[in-house]
């Protein structure tokens, strides 16, 4: 099971939530922590997750999830309601970058994702979700590539791919139908010609 699948199952499902997106991150400037929650020193994994409750009205949250060295479980460390998010900074609007900043009412974090693609997917889903669920006072998205905020986005590209596949399949079926139709017409013409030949031959035999 992947880390993200495990987070969804262990952290969100028991609380009646569905994880919409997650990105593994590291701080740009790592904080010095003298001890860990497990009681010892060591490394840990950090994920920023976007989730929504299954019950309506839907409540969205951004959660910082960690997994400490030596522990098999993922644990929540911090959580913010989506309306506490003030700004998402994509750092560079001209190229893919793994860096991004999140500004909340009471917190500010600078992150580096595992890859530029993983960060871009997370920011895109976050933007799409904010546009859908937040009626007013939406967070500001700055220094983000236009493909993440609309246009040729991953979400739209996926939909376009499905639409394109359906159109191609429909076109192929239509072309096949046309070919079958033409074949049926030729078969009918041949049958008519054969019948006419048979009738003519029979008449000639009677005259003889």
Angstrom distance (rounded) from CA 164 to CA 182: 27
Average pLDDT value for the chain: 80
Instruction: pLDDT band for 135, please (50, 70, 90 cuts).
Output: confident
The answer to whether residues 160 and 86 belong to one domain is no
The answer to whether residues 189 and 97 belong to one domain is no
Around Cβ 59, how many Cβ atoms within 10 Å? 15
The answer to whether residues 147 and 160 belong to one domain is no
pLDDT digits (tens, 9 = 90+) for 166-192: 455 556 656 666 666 666 666 656 666
Is it the case that residue 145 has pLDDT exceeding 90? yes
The answer to whether residues 7 and 85 belong to one domain is yes
Of 116, 131, 151, which closes a domain? 151
Instruction: pLDDT band for 116, please (50, 70, 90 cuts).
Output: very high
How far, rounded to the nearest angstrom, does the alpha carbon of residue 134 sit from its chain's CA centroid?
19
The answer to whether residues 180 and 100 belong to one domain is no
CATH number at residue 126: 2.30.29.90
The answer to whether residues 141 and 161 belong to one domain is no
Report pLDDT for 152.
46
The answer to whether residues 177 and 142 belong to one domain is no
Two structure tokens written together for 172: 């192929």
pLDDT digits (tens, 9 = 90+) for 39-95: 444 689 999 999 999 998 889 999 999 999 888 899 999 999 999 999 999 999 999
The answer to whether residues 188 and 91 belong to one domain is no
The answer to whether residues 138 and 163 belong to one domain is no
Report pLDDT for 29.
77
The percent of residues above 70 in pLDDT, for the chain, comes to 66
Of 103, 135, 151, which closes a domain? 151
Report pLDDT for 157.
42
The answer to whether residues 147 and 175 belong to one domain is no
Two structure tokens written together for 53: 């409750």
Average pLDDT over every residue of 2-25: 95
Domain assignment of residue 174, given as a range: 152-208
Of 130, 151, 172, which closes a domain? 151
The percent of residues above 90 in pLDDT, for the chain, comes to 55
The answer to whether residues 95 and 14 belong to one domain is yes
C-beta separation of 19 from 4 below 8 A: yes
Number of domains in the chain: 2
Helix/strand/coil (H, E, C) string of the chain? Answer: CCHHHHHHHHHHHHHCEEEEEEEEEEECCCCCCCCCCCCCCCCEEEEEEEEEECCCCCCEEEEEEEEECCCCCCEEEEEEEHHHEEEEECCCCCCCCCEEEEEECCCEEEEEECCHHHHHHHHHHHHHHHHHHCCCCCCEEECCCHHHCCCCCHHHHHHHHHHHHHHHHHHHHHHHHHHHHHHHHHHHHHHHHHHHHHHHHHHHHHHC
């Amino acid at each position: 099971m992947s880390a993200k699948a495990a987070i969804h199952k262990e952290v969100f499902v028991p609380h009646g939530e569905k994880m919409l997106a997650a990105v593994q991150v590291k701080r740009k400037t790592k904080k010095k922590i003298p001890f860990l929650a497990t009681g010892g020193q060591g490394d840990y994994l950090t994920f920023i997750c976007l989730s929504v409750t299954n019950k309506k009205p839907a409540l969205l949250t951004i959660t910082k999830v960690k997994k400490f060295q030596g522990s098999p479980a993922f644990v929540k460390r911090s959580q913010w309601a989506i309306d506490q998010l003030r700004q998402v900074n994509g750092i560079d609007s001209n190229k893919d970058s793994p860096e991004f900043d999140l500004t909340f009412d009471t917190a500010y974090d600078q992150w580096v994702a595992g890859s530029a693609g993983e960060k871009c997917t997370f920011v895109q889903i976050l933007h799409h979700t904010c546009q859908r669920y937040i009626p007013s006072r939406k967070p500001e998205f700055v220094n983000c590539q236009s493909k993440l905020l609309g246009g040729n986005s991953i979400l739209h590209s996926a939909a376009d791919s499905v639409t394109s596949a359906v159109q191609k399949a429909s076109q192929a079926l239509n072309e096949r139908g046309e070919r079958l139709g033409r074949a049926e017409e030729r078969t009918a013409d041949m049958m008519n010609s054969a019948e006419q030949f048979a009738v003519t031959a029979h008449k000639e035999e009677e005259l003889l």
